[in-house]
Chains A and B, each alone.
Chain A
Amino acid sequence: MKTNLIALTVITTGIFFTSCDKEEVPAPVTVQTKSVSNLPGDTILGLTSMGQPYGSGKYTLYSLETNSIISNTDSATSKWDIGFRGTTIITNSGNSGPGAGGAFVYTGLFGDLVQIPTDSTFRIDNAPTAYAIKSGSGNGWYSYNGATNLITPIPGRILVIRTASGKYAKIEIQNYYKGGVTPDATASDNDKLMKQRYYTFRYTFQSDGSKKF
């Protein structure tokens, strides 16, 4: 686990869909599933005098299309698709950005989501209370345990993303802590705070604009 902390690793898998209609030329859809680890999302710099942890307050903007971090100076462009700040994930939509983005949370297995249901509705951001990916424990992608002060991604929650350019992707958040390892319940508060806000996730981006993965 700890050997590939820094690198943003890319694992490629090919999935082929074959048309049932034998008359037509099979049009294989190739999508790549990529893994991103240790992506910082406004990591904690210290505590305020009131005991509140604080970071820089800036989102880490990310392009799913290019699999790279986008500079905050480009926040008013359609270069980025999603942004991370603490547990909040924004999409390039609504009042978060100028893009054609949006998102909703799908319950199921990452691999089972091969086609975005036609009746699904993409939400758009209306910060600071109603994000496309709902904020708050149990509402969106994570659950917070008040007894241990730990954040755990809810297994089986898939973020279905419409990118800034109107294409589709699916994301599974796997861990919220540095190195992709959640600290023990008995770890110190300092450990729990200083190691959090590091995202490990995998995602599939469909470049052809279809809703198939």
Chain B
Amino acid sequence: MNKVVIVKDLKKYFAARTQMAALLSGRPSGVIRAVDGVSFDMGHGEILGLVGESGSGKSTIARVLARLEEPDSGEIWVDGQRISDLKGSGLKRFYRQVQMIFQDPYESVNPRFRVYDVVVEPVKVQKMAPRNRRGDLVIDALKRAGLKRVEEYLPKFPHQLSGGERQRLSIARALVVGPKVLIADEPVSMLDVSIKAGILNLLKQLSRVYGMTIMYISHDLSTVKYLCDRVVIMYLGKFVEIGRAEDVIDQPRHPYAQALQAAIPIPDPSHRRPRAALRDIREARSVVLEGCRYRKECPRAMDACRAIEPVMRPVGEDHLVACHLY
């Protein structure tokens, strides 16, 4: 089956600038290995969830896939074309294929642009339509993003819109170029509960109805389960588990994935969630160079974990885990 996005052994490192970062990387020269060798693919119309806590590297993967940063090594193919070293006009064409929406609805839109200007900008830059046809593209994109009575929105400024409306505006801007791939970096984290679902349902619809391939990044397993077909769990720059959403979230195998799942509070008062033992969470996590990165916090660490880095192994149909327990 043709995969829309293929990523092989992607690495992205950052130079550490502060003492704290040097502590985190465990190396005196101070390099943060934000993404340290990940591989995955995404099929047409698939929604892939990328889950991890802050510092896991998930946003970095998003930015590298969006070519806002260049990868340090590894290969990325989108729709059969290698994008890792695109520049100039090639990069501009790439942005017709891949778009991104961001976490903060307040910061994702230029406060000086009206709604119309925000959505028409990519149309102008990409020279997608002559002047008299641009308005149609804008209105169509805003409608597809779920805004009603679109004409009323066009002259408004972002500060006149609610958080949910602003997020839909960002989505309209992303949709207007007709991309195949949408990268959604925590699109609902900063929205109120009562409007999260609207955006999530919209993303679902984009994938089911328009066949859009979506990468959904989040730290919130509950929304990931609702939205995604497959899920990847990340820890300190590496993938630890990948598989179908129901499998990974309901029956996680990797100890870190299990800890994450067990820590999520449940809105049902009658459900007694078993609480994990109180531990001093070592917050300044140093990246371990040999063996498994999770071994310092893993309740089931073994000798092998110190020596050998685990690789992804299948534990079920379409379900892989990187852990020596399997």
- Please say whether chains A and B are actual partners in one complex: no
